[in-house]
Chains A and B, each alone.
Chain A
Amino acid sequence: MFKLTLRTLNANKIRLALTTFAVVLGVSFVVSSLVLGDGLRNSFGSLSEEIVGGVDLEVEPQSDFGSAQPLDEGLAATVGSVDGVANAVGFVSTEGIQPIKADGTPISTVGPPMIGMSWVDDSSLSGFTIVDGRAPASGMEFSIDEDAAANNDLVIGNTYGVITPAGRVDMDLVGITRFGESNATLGAVLSQYPLETAQELFIREGQLDSVLVRFDDGADRIAVQAAITDILPEQAVAVDQDALLAEIKADFNSGINIFNNILLGFAGVALFVSIFIIANTFAIVLGQRTKELALLRAIGASPKQVRRSTMLEALIVGLVASGLGILGGLGLNYGLRAMFSALGAELPQSDLILAPRTIIVALVVGVGVTMLSAFGPARKAGRIAPIAAMQDSIDAPRQSDRLRNLAGAAVLASGVAVGSFGLFGSIDGVAGRITMLAVGAILTFIGLTFASPAIAKPMISTVGLPLRALGTAGTLSTQNAGRNPRRTASTAASLMVGLALVTTAMVVGESLKQSISETLASEVKADYISSSDEAINSALIAEMGQSDTFSAVSGYRYNEIKVGDDVTGVMGGDLEATGLMFDIGIVDGQLVNDQSQIAVLESEAADRALTVGDELAVTFPSGNTETMTVGAIFSSTTIVDEKYLIHNEGWLTRFGDATDWWASALLADGVSAETADATFASLTEMYPQVQFENRADFNESLESQIDGMLVAINAMLVLAIVIALIGIANTLALSVFERTREIGLLRAVGMSRRQSRRMIRWEAAQVAMFGSLLGIGLGLVFGWGAVTALPDSFVSVLAFPFANIALLVAICAVSGLAAAAFPARRASKLNVLEAISHA
């Protein structure tokens, strides 16, 4: 039997290649995810060691909630005086420090942060080395990492503008630095300043983010750490080297894991879709070999042997696919690196680590998926009766689909039930709802795949209706598509999955866009909104507030407070300006610029039985508890997406960090758009990084952000669709082979080559349409579910992008036509005589 299996495989190499393509792709993604992850973990591991370097201990602020309170700068000297401490250096750093190039444009990155930090003048404590020039020593001097300098033509000796929280300043570039051994900054821009300058520019005067400590050689580390811990204030903690390393590695790893999960997502989609294709191919091929298998049975092979031979075939296919997948994964690994490099985020060099674990996972996944897919067809093959060898049947005998339909309907129903429970059941939290929805969606997919043969025929006849008008080739194509509903359904299933996901993403995206537009129209009165992801310069906001152009300006910041025993989010802004610029649904009271007032979300107020004028004890990260007065109760969470809103004043003392993340402005009465433009032009000259957009532009840029997200998601799904189309091509090629005699007969009685090509192509288009209509139908439902499950503050309107969906259907039908190109060609090139006498 083994020999026979090998011969069969060998005789069908192309079919094999088509079948395995999807598995190869899936395994490739799994492997590249693991290989890249291992490589990155390895190099980030050594990078972490470089960062920690000779730091024996770090004194860090700690807080129970909210942002950590900066340390007092005197602490460095105090720690330095502890016995066994060789050196203790204070350190500050902050994001959003943006040097300006010689041509006046600020350095920008796509994603990676721009970090400014104090220069650590101790080679074992500093993660940086000077490669050119000298270290920034005092005053307005700075140094920058070598890649940032080279990419932006920054030259030692020149003066450059730098945008800092304290405003725009001019600084002399005195040094070029290297981070670690190879300056693996991942695209971040790292600049260094003398400590005092840094404190001033980052608005940290008299404060430190941390103290880096180096011990005396041979010091008793535990004793020194204990001695330091003894003298630390309550809100500081001493972290030793190992813990520090673990902290940094954990930070990196969470980043690497996100990255890994995205790749694994691709792998999952590819593998899920490939199950349908492999199962289908095996079913068809075994169907075609019915006579051969029956003959084997007739001459004495047991059902078990037939089954085993088929599973063995699957095993070999799986092994080959996994092997190719491993190679493909290694290739993909390099491809991804090249892609990131092209995007400006160089991944750190790492060794190619093909761990035994990776190979095992690849084999288990590849072989597992293939054998799982072949299991059903193999069982069926084992049941072929020996008598089938003697029968001359064109279509396989119809067996009852009732059981299958019932099972499918049951799974489908359970999927709908789980999904509905996720939507309407008593589940707390968005994550729980979405998880339930996802489980429901997977069950629905499986159920529908089983049950879809039942609807394949009526649906195909409907879809094919217009084709019937196009003559006999059209009619035949419709009937061919409908003649084996199970095959049509499983061929279309992979397309269904891909399209359901694309459509879901499209519905959510469109609903998001609509929600944003409506919110902007109904709740936003501000004329300008900042459009940067980076922190907003507080100096800029202050300057805008003083300008006559605007009647209201506010920056917005976020942190945590403790109310009673609960830690909860709080948002800060200029309250009166907020009231002018946004309709946050004030139910009672009003927003006034009073540091002691607090605005509360309606539901929270109800929970705590608060009304306007009530007093409320609030604890801040600084440790202070203040008694505040409820000044207003609001109901909309679109703008204020926290339970509490307080005034900006005194924020720094309360929270220790006063970074604004976005800002908005209202034009003063009678100020023209031109005046506003001029004001922004002069502001932009000083603060080039921050961009304000008017409402229309802001709306548009939000929409384009959503579109950008959709593009990324859809790239993954296009992969699924491509695999699905390969599946259609594969199935049709097999169908053409199976119907050789029939096509021969058609050609003999006068079907032209063109008509025969058309017949096959249209059949493919109908299968594609069937799959895409099912998928889109599902996607609309899933999309509705997702939008319903997501909180209203995120998406409040349900909208269907019908034009895009229609386009999608058309693309799928056309792609179906394209997928059929090869089988159609084959059908038309059949030699009529040979075809007629085909056994």
Chain B
Amino acid sequence: MSLLAIEETNQIQPVTAPVAASARNATKLYRTGETEVRALDGVSVDFEQGRFTAIMGPSGSGKSTLMHCIAGLDQLTSGSVSIGDVSLSDLNEKQLTKLRRDHVGFVFQAFNLIPTLTVEENIKLPAALAGTTPDAGWLATVIDTVGLGDRLGHRPDELSGGQRQRVAVARALAAQPKVIFADEPTGNLDSRTGGEILAFMRSAVDEMGQTIVMVTHDPIAASYADRAVFLADGRIVDEIHSPTAESVLNHMKTMGD
């Protein structure tokens, strides 16, 4: 399976764990009048279980599009994406919604929480939408980890930006999804608060075995990941394992040349 990926992208991907999400030959075209934009150009990539991957690249490189397509929020023009062993191209809108609800977690840059719901209700939201009750023990663990136990009854507008993002991560964790997608989760935060969130996500991977895919353009954010994948012009151009802020920065400089 990953052999194909190596051939097509000229990347070396050591397969050490089962795959939580993957893309095969993912291509996405946008048509604006006469011009055609190739947002994704035959991307193949695997995201292994229990690992923290950062997708990096300059604006317009297709990193967000890739994430949206793998998460089932957007559709590919050609190619395929899978969550676990389910291929998303076989699913209709209803099944996609169910898949997102049950197997995918989201953390967005801003506006992650429903303002009318309390912290606790926001955390339980996906389960509530499914009409199920989340595992109480697990929920307690998540809430404990988030460290917002005393704020469960508060509304989002009573929290700081960092606290809101923590709740967003907790919501993503609560559903025990196959994979969590985070889209610039620290983009709106100062570096100290951002660092806390990233450390929190890191510990979710290390201690809970969660799989996280994060889109970012911040080398420091990427340094919290196990692996950084670089996109440019809709293609994967490189990747680093166990990235540091410095190595990522150097890499970006090379890409810029």
Contact = CB atoms under 8 A, between A and B. Distances in A.
B218 interface: no
B130 interface: yes
A596 to B, nearest CB: 82
Interface of A: 392, 394-395, 471-473, 475-476, 479-480, 483, 741-742, 745-753, 755, 832-833, 836
Nearest 4 CB-CB pairings of A with B = A750-B101, A479-B116, A472-B128, A752-B97
A745 B116 contact: no
Nearest to B108: A836
B94 interface: yes
Contacts of A832: 73
Given A395-B115, A476-B117, A833-B73, A749 B128 contact: no
Interface residues of B, number: 30
Contacts of B101: 749-751
22 contacts: A395-B115, A395-B157, A471-B128, A471-B129, A475-B121, A476-B116, A476-B117, A741-B111, A746-B125, A746-B129, A749-B100, A749-B106, A750-B98, A750-B130, A751-B101, A751-B129, A752-B94, A752-B97, A833-B73, A833-B74, A836-B73, A836-B111
B256 interface: no
Contact of B112 (A480, A745, A752): A745
B33 interface: no
Contact of B102 (A475, A483, A748, A750): A750
B151 to A, nearest CB: 18
- Point out which of B93, B97, B115, B171 has the most chain A C-beta atoms below 10 A from its C-beta: B97
Contacts of B14: none
Contact of A742 (B105, B114, B128, B157): B114
Contacts of B125: 472, 746, 749
Contacts of A473: 129
A745 B117 CA distance: 13
Q: Which one of A473, A483, A752 has the greatest number of beta carbons of chain B within 10 Å?
A: A752
Contact of B116 (A480, A741, A753, A836): A480
Contacts of B131: 471-472
B93 A753 contact: yes
A745 B128 CA distance: 15
A748 B183 CA distance: 13
B115 A750 contact: no
Nearest to A752: B97
Nearest to A394: B115
B126 interface: yes
Contacts of A475: 121, 128
B80 to A, nearest CB: 19
Contacts of A741: 111
Contacts of A742: 111, 114-115
Given A750-B126, A752-B97, 9 more contacts: A395-B157, A476-B116, A479-B117, A742-B114, A748-B100, A748-B108, A751-B129, A833-B74, A836-B111
Contacts of A752: 94, 97-98, 129
Contacts of A480: 116
Contacts of A751: 97, 101, 129
Contacts of B93: 753
B101 to A, nearest CB: 2
B100 A750 contact: yes
A459 B130 CA distance: 28
A755 to B, nearest CB: 6
Contacts of A753: 93-94, 97
- Grouping DSSP codes into helix (H, G, I), strand (E, B) and loop, the A interface class, with mixed when no group exceeds half, is helix
B68 interface: yes
Contacts of A483: 115-116
B6 to A, nearest CB: 31
B214 to A, nearest CB: 16
A473 B68 CA distance: 25
A726 B239 CA distance: 57
A836 B74 CA distance: 12
A395 B112 CA distance: 15
B54 to A, nearest CB: 21
A74 B148 CA distance: 108
Contact of A749 (B115, B116, B121, B129): B129
A476 B114 contact: yes
Nearest to B101: A750
Interface string B61-80: 00000001000011000000
A755 B129 contact: yes
Contacts of B116: 476, 479-480, 483
A747 B100 CA distance: 9
A618 B56 CA distance: 109
A413 to B, nearest CB: 33
A394 B110 CA distance: 12
B98 A833 contact: no
B81 to A, nearest CB: 15
A394 B157 CA distance: 9
A392 B157 CA distance: 11
Contact of B73 (A395, A746, A748): A748
Contacts of A472: 125, 128-129, 131
A741 B111 CA distance: 8
A395 B114 CA distance: 11
Contacts of B74: 833
B68 A750 contact: no
Contacts of B171: 749
A696 to B, nearest CB: 55
Nearest to A838: B111
B108 A750 contact: no
Interface string B87-104: 000000110011011100
Nearest to A483: B116
B126 A749 contact: yes
Nearest to B68: A833
A743 to B, nearest CB: 10
A142 to B, nearest CB: 79
Contacts of A746: 114, 125, 129
B129 A745 contact: no
Contacts of B108: 745, 748, 836
B98 A745 contact: no
B49 to A, nearest CB: 21
Contacts of B98: 750, 752
Nearest to A393: B157
Nearest to B181: A748
Contacts of B106: 748-749
Nearest to A743: B114
Contacts of A747: 97
Contacts of B115: 394-395, 483, 742
Contacts of A479: 116-117
A216 B164 CA distance: 102
A755 B125 CA distance: 13
Contacts of A749: 100-101, 105-106, 125-126, 129, 171
B114 A745 contact: yes
A750 B73 contact: no
Contacts of B117: 476, 479
A392 B188 CA distance: 12
A753 B94 CA distance: 8
Nearest to B121: A475
A172 B94 CA distance: 82
